[in-house]
Amino acid sequence: MQNIRNIAIIAHVDHGKTTLVDKILHSTNVFRENQDSGELIMDNNDIERERGITIFSKNASVEYKGVKINVIDTPGHADFGGEVERVLKMADGVILLVDAFEGPMPQTRFVLGKALELGLKPLVVINKVDKENCRPDEVYDKVFELFFNLDATEDQLDFPAFYGSSKQGWFNTENVRTEDILPLMDGILEHVPAPEAKEGDLQMQITSLDYSKFLGRIAVGKVTRGEVKEGDWIALTKPDGSFKKHKVKELYTFTGLGKVRATEVKAGDICAVVGIDGFQIGDTIADPENPEALPVMHIDEPTMNMSFGINNSPFFGKDGKFVTSRHLVDRLTDELERNLALRVEPTEDSNTQLVYGRGIMHLSVLIETMRREGYELTVGQPQVIFKEIDGVKCEPYETLVIDVPDDYSSKAIDLVTQRKGDLLVMEAKEGMQHLEFEIPSRGLIGLRSLMLTSTAGEAVMAHNFLEYKPFKGAIAGRSAGVIISKDQGTSTPYSIDKLQDRGKFFVAPGEEVYEGMIIGEHSRNNDLVVNVVEAKKLNNIRAAGKDDSSSIAPKIEMTLEECMEYIQGDECIEVTPNFIRLRKIHLKEVDRKRFEKSMS
């Protein structure tokens, strides 16, 4: 037990967690000297690498001075807090990583609060001290204040602090550059307690899962009591007290970035168990003669929902492999097994499911993953979840933090207050304004793109769920209408050129469009139906080269998240493996008018 340390690395998004894990792996010689490991080694998912964020928590294991250190890399984005909450159960200590300029951010507060509740021993690492305008001493004071506000114990308040740079590969207890990160590794051995050895029969809570084409679903967790052996019978215990016996077919422990076969794993170590069917995250692996379940993990509830339906556009089935409602339901059911923060409910329409998640990013990653797997679907406008508390209609509120140059601070404040946000903190730091707001979650939908446009891309936004509070009234939606295609066909340069004064287009000449598809943003606040497939009529008195003189503005490209924030209640997004299109729910104009009449 004394030769094991289990530590999770937690931080706000983009503060350098995964880069620190890279340096830990290199400093403990996990790779050969001539091996090219690349950067952000733990972010091995395509979406993670493209977005530059960690989405799924991952395990690695290194050996330092004869001690096995299990390292858990966690996501930093607030929408993936469910991943952090469950994997903290495997840790005995946490490294809290904080940017030396930005200081503690909303997600820092959230994940640290969870870690302190579990009684984990914290180490504070103030990262990026090589950046200009960094303020490590001031950030240290802010971190201490945060610990105090989160009711940390005296032992937790007496945290060791390390300063350095993940990118440059050094850390030290003083803000003085050293050659490596070994002072931090020594700090882990000194300050993180060894796992507590509890007397009694086997207990191991499943906190994560892995998957293999050959082995199927693999249960991952920390053995908290007793020991698990390959070939032994165990009881898979459910939260309701029921249990079922299974045989451990194979057993693995983590070494480096992979797993190695083990015959037995004792209390305190993290392992992967093969051969258990029908398990869920939160279930307990226990002794078959005396099955005792561990307390159920509480995961914060979702705050947003979206409708997921089959693709019923004229281009249905042209692009994807999985297009039926059965495919959609099966895929969402599979996702529920590993995505604890997700909920799925059927609707009156058998072709549509209501999917609940933590936020726009959480849901968009699921949609993007399904798209890459070959699914076709339509998704509706994100809606926040309202609750009735003591007879009062309540909605989710979030803490919003914006760092913006002084010149743009008034624009940023104006945008947030228009969306029912209240300014709580405003402080200057090195030519920037640090703004903190309390805002309804509804107000955040579509705010990021407006904020970046109004501040020339200089604003840095972060937000985190706060609590449910009384409903704050209507919030103004999109100010502009949309341009809708009247016919199906191929868009022509001639038609788009003639319509450019009506607004901006989301399609380029030569793209396939259909009736009811949203092809642009109108310059006024009403919707406009146009014909973009009309070709120029040919005659025998055309001037040579006249068609080449037209100049068409480039189309507006929008990411999936931007599309989700852009659409209104009567619109949806068609998502296929190769295309993301905006469209009206009712494609025919006569159907839209009939629906509007029925609603008025």
Residues forming the annotated binding site? 14-19, 127-130
**How many secondary structure helices (H) and strands (E) does the chain include?**
15, 35
End-to-end alpha carbon distance in the chain: 69
Biggest CA-to-CA distance, the chain: 96
Task: List beta partners, residue 421.
Answer: none
Handedness of CA 327, 329, 333, 339 (dihedral sign): positive
Count other Cβ atoms within 10 Å, centred on residue 446.
21
Q: How far apart are CA 71 and CA 90, in angstroms?
A: 10
Q: Hey, what long-range contacts does 294-297 have (CB within 8 A, 24 or more apart)? A: 294/203, 294/205, 294/224, 296/239, 297/85, 297/86, 297/89, 297/205, 297/207, 297/340
Specify whether the CB–CB gap between 112 and 150 falls below 8 A: yes
Specify whether the CB–CB gap between 379 and 573 falls below 8 A: yes
Q: Hey, what long-range contacts does 136-144 have (CB within 8 A, 24 or more apart)? A: 136/100, 136/163, 136/175, 138/103, 139/98, 139/99, 139/100, 139/101, 139/103, 139/104, 142/103, 142/104, 143/96, 143/98, 143/103, 143/104
Q: How far apart are CA 55 and CA 219, in angstroms?
A: 19
87: left (phi over 0), alpha (psi -120 to 50) or beta: alpha
Q: In sequence order, what DSSP letters do the residues of 139-169 get, joined into one string? A: HHHHHHHHHHHTT--HHHHS--EEEEETTTT
Task: List beta partners, residue 165.
Answer: 170
Which tokens in the block code for residue 454? 């109004």
Which tokens in the block code for residue 551? 């100049």
User: Is 305 in a helix, a strand, or coil?
Assistant: strand
Q: How far apart are CA 379 and CA 310, in angstroms?
A: 9
Which residue positions form the known binding site for GTP?
14-19, 127-130
